[in-house]
Copies of this chain bind each other. A is one copy, B any other.
Amino acid sequence: MSANLRDVAKKAGVSVGTVSNVLNRPEVVSPKTLERVQKTIAELGFVPNGFARQLRSGYSRTIGLVVPDVANPFFTEVARGVEDAASKRNYAVFLCNSDESLEKENKYLSVLIQQQVRGVLITPADAQGHEYENLRERGISVALLDTETKNSSQCSVSVDDVRGGEIAIEHLLSLGHKDIAWVTGPETIPQIVDRTMGVTKAAKVGKAEISTIRVTLMNVAQGEAAAKKILLLKKMPSAIFCANDLLAFGVMRVLLDAGINIPEQVSLLGYDDISFGNSAAVPLSSISQPAYQLGVTAAELLISECEDSEEHAHQQVKFQPQLVMRASTASK
């Protein structure tokens, strides 16, 4: 088995306390001893046992990241941001996919409690009350990711989804579109609720007519299904706005296959601006969100809360979405 603190101490001819000091407060150890102990540590390939350390100190250096699905490029980017920022602060990240199911979310939360994570970054599966009191009671910090919080007793990092919905419709309106299909996901998802609110608001102002096509999952296949429904409508809309880019890709495929030109016959607008949008059959116009930055900011906020919960002031950071115009939207 591998070496432990006592082995190092014995071999270096010092006490365990000194070795512990070398590890945790090297500045209080004399240079000579420091060097000798460090050499021994290297020789033995000693790595401190995290459990024991954490058991003693009461704190781990791990955080949990709970997202609906890392396979969605938006969340993949977010996850990379979280991971990079956490790693910079020497934290390790547990990755959990909730698949937008409350049940899976709870299961993972309980796993994370057992693993004694220091904090949790979560994109809630459900629009309702994200209190996570059971975590807080245990001293686990929680920050909301890509979701805004109403109460100011927790941190959140989000993108203004209401504004995103607005921007999208305003863009389509500016191109002369008044008859717009809104391909959207389950109303249980907070982001969907907000974007819909923005859509409705902008449509009212601009006197546009919105027909809603609701799907159960936000992926390419469901986008294809949605497009098939649109093709059956008595009157084709002149523009289609999708709640994310994956849906838009699915819609694009089916429309092109049906011989409908984009953007000549129908304008198509996505959401998330995932990097592949650029390489699509028709480069996809989209609403861009700073995904990587979102992850970085959230991780930094969470870790700062973990490390000095006294000093820490909860923040609600809100990024602004941006319209990225490519080839898939055009004047009517």
Binding site for B on A (CB under 8 A): 1-2, 45, 47-52, 54-55, 60, 62, 65, 69-71, 73, 76-77, 79-80, 83-84, 87, 90, 92-97, 107-108, 110-116, 134, 137-139, 220, 249, 252-253, 275-276, 278-283
Kindly list chain B residues whose C-beta atoms are within 8 Å of the C-beta of A71.
Answer: 73, 76-77, 80
A4 to B95, CA, bound (A): 26
Would you give the shortest CB distance from A5 to chain B, in whole angstroms? 13
A192 to B113, CA, bound (A): 41
Kindly list chain B residues whose C-beta atoms are within 8 Å of the C-beta of A253.
Answer: 278-279
Would you give the shortest CB distance from A50 to chain B, in whole angstroms? 4
Kindly list chain B residues whose C-beta atoms are within 8 Å of the C-beta of A1.
Answer: 138-139
Kindly list chain B residues whose C-beta atoms are within 8 Å of the C-beta of A62.
Answer: 94, 115
- Asked if B97 and A94 make an inter-chain contact with CB atoms under 8 angstroms apart, the answer reads no
Would you give the shortest CB distance from A126 to chain B, in whole angstroms? 19
Query: Which of A47, A107, A137 has the most CB atoms of chain B within a 10 A radius of its CB?
Result: A47
- Asked if A115 and B92 make an inter-chain contact with CB atoms under 8 angstroms apart, the answer reads yes
Kindly list chain B residues whose C-beta atoms are within 8 Å of the C-beta of A280.
Answer: 276, 279-281
